[in-house]
C-alpha cells in the first residue's frame, strides 16, 4: 500500500494470543496494518522487546520515531510493563493520566511507548477486571451518545455499561470457556454427534434459559435429558447447550442492568466479528432485543483518543 501522508501514531492491540498494529496518519486513518500470532503467551522467554522491534522496525526505518500506544494483556503482570488497573467508573481522562511508559523508549524527555491501563470494578465484595476491552468500548463511543451497553463476546465475554462518555459498570461471563469445558470434558460432550449449527436446537436451549425460573446449574443436565427423551436430536445437543449457556448469560445480564427493557433499553452494541457475533445476535433477537454492530476494530479509535489526551503525538 502506498502511503500518501505522514504517520503520527502506531496503535497496538497486544493481547494473549495475537499482536496487531496499525500505522495511523494525523486524521486517524489506517495507512498500514500488521498482524502476527505473537500474543504475550506465545513470546519466547517473554522477550517482548525483540517482538516489538521485529514487527515495527520496518515502519521506524521509513518514518523515524513514531510514538506507540498499546492496549491489552501486554500491560498485565505477565506482560512487558504492568499498567495498574483504573477503578470503575472512569473515563478517557483517567486512562490517559495513568498510562505506563516502557523504559528505554523515548526521544529526549518525550516517551515513545505507552501502555493503556485496564479497569477494575468491585461488585458485592468481588473484584472484576478487563484489559483491552475498555479501549474498544471507548473507541465505539460517539459524542453525546445516550447510555449504551457494549457486549464483547469471547471466551470471557464482557458487558460494559457507559453513560456520559464514561464506563459506569461491567460484568464478565465465562460462557465461552464453560461451553468448551463441558464439550470437551463432561458427559454432555460425549453425547454430542458433531458440531453442526442447528438453529432449532439453539433456540430451544436459549428460550429454556430465558424463560425458566431455574438457574444454569440445574438446567445443564437437560442437555442430556432432552436428547434422552428425543426432544433434541443428538446432532443438535451441541447447539442446544450453546443456546442454554448464552441464554443464561443474557438473563443474568438483564437482571444486573435492571433498566434494560426491550422497548426502552440503552443502546446495545456488539463489538467483534465472526460467527460468535452472529450467535449473540440470534440470542438477542430471541430475547426481544435489537443490537447494533460496531464496524471494524474500535480499539484503533480508542487508542487514538487516549493518545491525544495524553499528548503522546507531536
Q: Is residue 103 part of a domain?
A: no
Strands (E), 78-130: 86-87, 90-91, 100-101, 106-107, 110-111, 113-115, 119-123, 126-130
Residue 1: predicted pLDDT: 42
For residue 126, the tally of other CB atoms under 10 A from its CB is: 7
pLDDT at 2 over 50: no
* Average pLDDT across the chain, whole number: 93
> pLDDT of 75-112, one tens digit each?
999 999 999 999 999 999 999 999 999 999 988 788 89
Taking Cα atoms as reference points, which of 71, 77, 74 lies closest to residue 300? Answer: 71
What the block records as the C-alpha cell of 39 is 500474543
Taking Cα atoms as reference points, which of 68, 62, 64, 85 lies closest to residue 21? Answer: 68
Q: Is residue 187 part of a domain?
A: yes
From the number of C-beta atoms within 10 Å of its C-beta (0-12, 13-18, 19+), residue 120 rates as: middle
Express as a percent the part of the chain with pLDDT over 90: 83
> pLDDT of 193-248, one tens digit each?
878 889 999 999 999 999 999 999 999 999 999 999 999 999 999 999 999 999 99
Looking at residues 63-81, what average pLDDT do you find?
Answer: 97
Identify whether the C-beta of residue 146 lies closer than 8 Å to the C-beta of residue 164: no
Residue 143: predicted pLDDT: 80
Cβ contacts of 175 within 8 Å, gap of 6 or more = 157, 245, 246, 248, 249
Q: Name all contacts of 25-31 with Cβ < 8 Å and 24+ positions apart.
A: 28/300, 28/301, 28/304, 29/5, 30/300, 31/1, 31/3, 31/4, 31/5, 31/7
Q: What angle do CA 279, 285, 288 make, to 5 degrees?
A: 150
pLDDT at 25 over 60: yes
Q: Is residue 299 part of a domain?
A: no
Euclidean distance between CA atoms 2 and 299, whole angstroms: 23
Q: Is residue 106 part of a domain?
A: no
- Number of domains into which the chain is organized: 1
Burial 6-17 (b: 16+ CB within 10 A, else e): ebbbbbbbbbbe
Half-sphere exposure of 160 (CA within 13 A, CB side): 33
pLDDT at 267 over 90: no
How far, in Å, are 21, 230, 249 from residue 193 at the CA level? 40, 14, 25
Euclidean distance between CA atoms 30 and 23, whole angstroms: 6
Q: Is residue 127 part of a domain?
A: no
Q: Is residue 216 part of a domain?
A: yes
> Cα–chain-centroid distance for residue 313?
26
pLDDT at 274 over 60: yes
Q: Is residue 3 part of a domain?
A: no
pTM above threshold 0.85: yes
Domain containing residue 256: 173-293
Q: Is residue 209 part of a domain?
A: yes
CATH number of residue 276's parent domain: 3.30.420.310
Amino acid at each position: 500500500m502506498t502511503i500518501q501522508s505522514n504517520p503520527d501514531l502506531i496503535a497496538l492491540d497486544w493481547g494473549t494470543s495475537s499482536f496487531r498494529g496499525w500505522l495511523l496518519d494525523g486524521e486517524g486513518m489506517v495507512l498500514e496494518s500488521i498482524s502476527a500470532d505473537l500474543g504475550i503467551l506465545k513470546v519466547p522467554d517473554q522477550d517482548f522487546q525483540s517482538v516489538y522491534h521485529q514487527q515495527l522496525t520496518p515502519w521506524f526505518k521509513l518514518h523515524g520515531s513514531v510514538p506507540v500506544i498499546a492496549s491489552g494483556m501486554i500491560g498485565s503482570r505477565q506482560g512487558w510493563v504492568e499498567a495498574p488497573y483504573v477503578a470503575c467508573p472512569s473515563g478517557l481522562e483517567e486512562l490517559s493520566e495513568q498510562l505506563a511508559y516502557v523504559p528505554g523508549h523515548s526521544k529526549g524527555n518525550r516517551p515513545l511507548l505507552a501502555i493503556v491501563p485496564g479497569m477494575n470494578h468491585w461488585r458485592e465484595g468481588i473484584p472484576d477486571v478487563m484489559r483491552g476491552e475498555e479501549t474498544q468500548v471507548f473507541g465505539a463511543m460517539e459524542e453525546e451518545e445516550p447510555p449504551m451497553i457494549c457486549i464483547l463476546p469471547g471466551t470471557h465475554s464482557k458487558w460494559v455499561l457507559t453513560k456520559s462518555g464514561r464506563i459506569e459498570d461491567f460484568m464478565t461471563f465465562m460462557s465461552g470457556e464453560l461451553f468448551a469445558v463441558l464439550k470437551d470434558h463432561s458427559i454432555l460432550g460425549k453425547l454430542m454427534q458433531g458440531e453442526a449449527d442447528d438453529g432449532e436446537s439453539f433456540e430451544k436451549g436459549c428460550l429454556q434459559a430465558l424463560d425458566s425460573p431455574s438457574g444454569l446449574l440445574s438446567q445443564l443436565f437437560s442437555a442430556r435429558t432432552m436428547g434422552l427423551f428425543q426432544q433434541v436430536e443428538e446432532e443438535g445437543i451441541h447447539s442446544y447447550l450453546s443456546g442454554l449457556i448464552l441464554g443464561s448469560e443474557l438473563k443474568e445480564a438483564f437482571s444486573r442492568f435492571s433498566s434494560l427493557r426491550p422497548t426502552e433499553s440503552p443502546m446495545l452494541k456488539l463489538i467483534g466479528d465472526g460467527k460468535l457475533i452472529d450467535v449473540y445476535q440470534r440470542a438477542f433477537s430471541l430475547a426481544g432485543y435489537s443490537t447494533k454492530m460496531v464496524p471494524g476494530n474500535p480499539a484503533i479509535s480508542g487508542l487514538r483518543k487516549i493518545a491525544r489526551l495524553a499528548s503522546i503525538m507531536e
